């Protein structure tokens, strides 16, 4: 495959993943109606939604691919959209639970589900939590992921930045071996939205995401209470479409410096 064709293919996949299905369907119809690039330049195609500039950019790339006419581009979009829809339907979901259970329950424990995600990561691992304490199994798995070449990023609440919302643990509760092996990020106080009464929010999300493919999201913090004593509920999701959607949001938090990396050592 030529580089222009590969670039076009990658762009089609990204647009189908990121934009609403209705926008993809409309764009495919517009491209199909254009017939030839020579008589209908991309800039004149009637894209009306707020994603018009992205569809026009796709058209310009397609014009540079030998043999690719507007109708073929429409077919690529429809095929990619159909595949994305099939992947969404085929996502594997599994419930994780900590707490009292009926006899013979087959629900996964929260700690097991989280460890499955951490141990599956080979390239990138994201872990988000409000409270975090020294849980030996989790700490060992995080360090192990980093040692096998995985980039591990922990987005955690901070006692100082939360101004008392978190009283112990969080980024401050990570042991030295985790701090040395992983990247730790906090949400600075000055970056948090404040309401008219001066109140500000906390980092309260809890999730783990491996390689843009596997996601665990639930109620449990990274604490022994959450894994052993509390009632906690979570969902393990094997779906690239779902995982990549969450990953884009987490990556934006870091790239925009909404969350900032702390210097080592704490």
Q: Find out whether 129 and 221 touch, Cβ atoms under 8 Å.
A: yes
Domain limits for position 158: 92-261
CATH code: domain of residue 176: 3.30.870.10
Question: Quick one: how far is CA 221 from the chain centroid?
Answer: 18
As for how many domains the chain has, the answer is 2
> Which residue in this structure is represented by tokens 């020294």?
134
Residue 156 lies in a domain: yes
Determine the pLDDT at residue 44. 65
Provide DSSP, 195-259.
-TTS-B------EEEETTTEEEEES--BSHIIIIIS-EEEEEEE-HHHHHHHHHHHHHHHHTTSS
- Last residue of some domain: 88, 104, 124? 88
d(CA 39, CA 1): 27
Same domain? 147 vs 255: yes
Would you call 166 helix, strand, or coil by DSSP?
coil
Determine the pLDDT at residue 88. 65
Same domain? 13 vs 62: yes
d(CA 256, CA 18): 19
Which backbone phi and psi does 242 adopt, to 5 degrees? Answer: -70, -45
Q: How far is CA 182 from CA 117, 144, 254, 261, 263, in A?
A: 16, 10, 14, 10, 11
Q: Residue 230 has which token pair? A: 């509390």
Q: Find out whether 74 and 31 touch, Cβ atoms under 8 Å.
A: yes
**Within 10 Å of residue 74's Cβ, how many Cβ atoms?**
19
Mean pLDDT by 10 residues, the chain (266 residues): 87 89 90 75 71 88 89 92 78 90 88 94 95 90 95 92 80 88 94 91 94 94 92 93 92 96 68
For residue 34, the surrounding DSSP H or E stretch is helix 21-34
Same domain? 72 vs 101: no
Q: Indicate the pairing of strand 124-129 with strand 151-156.
A: parallel
**Within 10 Å of residue 88's Cβ, how many Cβ atoms?**
12
| pTM of the predicted structure, to 2 decimals | 0.67
Residue 266 lies in a domain: no
Determine the pLDDT at residue 233. 97
Helix axes 70-89, 3-18, angle to 10 degrees: 50
Same domain? 231 vs 204: yes
Determine the pLDDT at residue 40. 54
Same domain? 18 vs 35: yes
């Amino acid at each position: 495959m030529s580089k222009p064709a590969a670039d076009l293919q990658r762009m089609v996949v990204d647009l189908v993943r990121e934009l609403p299905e209705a926008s993809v369907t409309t764009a495919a119809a517009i491209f199909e109606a254009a017939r030839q690039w020579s008589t209908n330049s991309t800039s004149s195609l009637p894209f009306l939604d707020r994603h018009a500039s992205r569809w026009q950019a796709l058209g310009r790339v397609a014009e540079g691919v030998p043999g690719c006419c507007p109708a073929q581009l429409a077919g690529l979009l429809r095929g990619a959209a159909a595949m994305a829809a099939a992947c969404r339907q085929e996502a594997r979901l599994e419930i994780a639970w900590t707490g009292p259970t009926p006899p013979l329950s087959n629900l996964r424990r929260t700690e097991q589900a989280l460890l499955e995600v951490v141990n599956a990561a080979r390239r990138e691992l994201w872990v988000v939590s409000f409270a975090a304490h020294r849980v030996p199994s989790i700490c060992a798995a995080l360090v192990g992921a980093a040692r096998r070449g995985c980039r591990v990023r922990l987005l955690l609440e901070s006692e100082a930045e939360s101004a008392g919302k978190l009283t112990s643990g969080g980024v401050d509760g990570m042991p030295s071996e985790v701090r040395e092996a992983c990247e730790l990020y906090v949400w600075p106080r000055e970056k948090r939205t404040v309401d008219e009464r001066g109140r500000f929010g906390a980092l309260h999300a809890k999730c783990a995401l491996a390689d843009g493919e596997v996601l665990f999201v639930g109620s449990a913090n990274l604490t022994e209470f959450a894994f052993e004593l509390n009632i906690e509920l979570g969902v393990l999701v094997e779906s690239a479409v779902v995982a990549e959607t969450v990953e884009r949001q987490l990556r934006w938090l870091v790239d925009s410096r909404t969350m900032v990396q702390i210097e080592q050592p704490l």
